[in-house]
């Protein structure tokens, strides 16, 4: 009878067996190997499933951040002034501070007023700064400035007292999602009143604009891509409210 020597790590030490028994034993060992291999793969699948479940659980415990909705606080008003700070750089940026005075067009010329603008006075780090907001087209005083307003949740959380003159952009189309047809012409007196009403209870305020010097800003209207001027009311709320302006000949 044929016989063979068999010695495998899986099946023990050297033995002499009839051939048909050795073959059967080899098949058995192979089956055992396959089963063990299958068991390893199954264990890997279970581990991967556990990892996926853990990742889903982590995601469930890390929800998308909700906008912070903070109160604006009690507004403070003071007499307008013609004495301003000098902390601005002559560039486009954002002025974050506290609204302390609203100067109507043509009213108190000792407070840096003029006939084409509403001047907002903003307290920032202990000094007052001037913000000139067009309510008439300087090139054609008979042509009304166009106006719109909208909530902008994407601006939530940006307010930080100071002048931010680097890496700041604002664009009516990409940030506010409005185009020129959304703006309507508003006569000077009515627009000045709209601004005053919108700011009546404002405390914190943000203004996107271009500094004309170290003491004030202007171009608070459609200007150029990523450098549009605007007034942001309630910047600490979940949905800051934006006052936006453009001229009749501007299409975007």
**pLDDT tens, position by position, 143-177:** 999 999 999 999 999 999 999 999 999 999 999 99
- Does the pLDDT value for residue 52 go beyond 70? no
Q: Does 170 lie in the same domain as 50? A: no
Q: Does 237 lie in the same domain as 126? A: yes
Total tally of structural domains belonging to the chain: 2
Q: Does 125 lie in the same domain as 40? A: no
Q: Which two tokens stand for residue 227?
A: 């450098």
**Per-residue pLDDT, 172:** 98
Instruction: Give per-residue burial for 24-61: e unless 16+ CB within 10 Å, then b.
Output: ebeeebeeeeeeeeeeeeeeeeeeeeeeeeeeeeeeee
Last residue of a domain, one of 60, 76, 104: 60
Q: Does 97 lie in the same domain as 35? A: no
**Per-residue pLDDT, 67:** 85
d(CA 206, CA 209): 10
236, 204 Cβ separation under 8 angstroms: yes
Q: Which two tokens stand for residue 113?
A: 């007023």
Question: Is 242 among the domain residues?
Answer: yes
**Per-residue pLDDT, 64:** 53
Question: Is 75 among the domain residues?
Answer: no
Q: How confident is the model at residue 18 (pLDDT cuts 50, 70, 90)?
A: very low
Last residue of a domain, one of 60, 82, 109: 60
Q: Does 106 lie in the same domain as 11? A: no
Q: Which two tokens stand for residue 75?
A: 């507004």
Question: Is 81 among the domain residues?
Answer: no
Q: Does 48 lie in the same domain as 110? A: no
Q: Does 112 lie in the same domain as 166? A: yes
Question: Is 137 among the domain residues?
Answer: yes
**Per-residue pLDDT, 106:** 85
Measured from the Cβ of residue 137, the count of other Cβ atoms closer than 10 Å reads 19
Q: How confident is the model at residue 5 (pLDDT cuts 50, 70, 90)?
A: very low
Question: Is 27 among the domain residues?
Answer: yes
Indicate the pTM of the whole model: 0.74
Q: How confident is the model at residue 108 (pLDDT cuts 50, 70, 90)?
A: low
Question: Is 134 among the domain residues?
Answer: yes
**Per-residue pLDDT, 65:** 64
**Per-residue pLDDT, 107:** 66
Q: Does 140 lie in the same domain as 32? A: no
Q: Does 159 lie in the same domain as 35? A: no
Q: Does 118 lie in the same domain as 52? A: no
- Does the pLDDT value for residue 68 go beyond 90? no
Q: How confident is the model at residue 44 (pLDDT cuts 50, 70, 90)?
A: very low
**Enclosing domain of residue 139:** 92-246
Measured from the Cβ of residue 241, the count of other Cβ atoms closer than 10 Å reads 17
131, 223 Cβ separation under 8 angstroms: no
- Does the pLDDT value for residue 20 go beyond 60? no
Q: Which two tokens stand for residue 18?
A: 């009839």
Question: Is 79 among the domain residues?
Answer: no
Q: Does 110 lie in the same domain as 16? A: no
**Per-residue pLDDT, 140:** 77
d(CA 193, CA 128): 22
């Amino acid at each position: 009878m044929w016989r063979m020597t068999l010695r495998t790590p899986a099946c023990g030490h050297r033995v002499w067996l009839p051939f048909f028994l050795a073959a059967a034993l080899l098949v058995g060992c192979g089956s055992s190997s396959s089963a063990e291999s299958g068991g390893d793969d199954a264990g890997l699948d279970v581990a991967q499933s556990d990892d996926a479940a853990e990742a889903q659980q982590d995601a469930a415990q890390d929800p998308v951040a909700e906008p912070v909705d903070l109160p604006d606080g009690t507004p403070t008003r003071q007499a307008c002034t013609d004495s301003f700070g000098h902390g601005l750089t002559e560039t486009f940026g954002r002025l974050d501070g506290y609204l302390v005075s609203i100067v109507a067009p043509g009213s108190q010329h000792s407070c840096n007023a003029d006939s084409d603008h509403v001047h907002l006075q903003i307290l920032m780090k202990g000094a007052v700064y001037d913000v000139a907001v067009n309510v008439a087209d300087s090139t054609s005083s008979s042509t009304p400035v166009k106006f719109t307003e909208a909530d902008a949740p994407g601006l939530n959380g940006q307010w930080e007292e100071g002048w931010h003159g680097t890496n700041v952009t604002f664009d009516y189309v990409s940030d506010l999602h409005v185009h020129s047809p959304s703006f309507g012409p508003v006569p000077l007196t009515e627009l000045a009143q709209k601004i005053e009403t919108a700011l009546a209870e404002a405390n914190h305020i943000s203004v996107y604009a271009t500094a004309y010097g170290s003491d004030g800003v202007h171009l608070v209207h459609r200007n150029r891509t990523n450098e549009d001027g605007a007034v942001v009311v309630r910047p600490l709320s979940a949905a800051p409210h934006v006052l936006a302006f453009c001229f009749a000949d501007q299409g975007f």
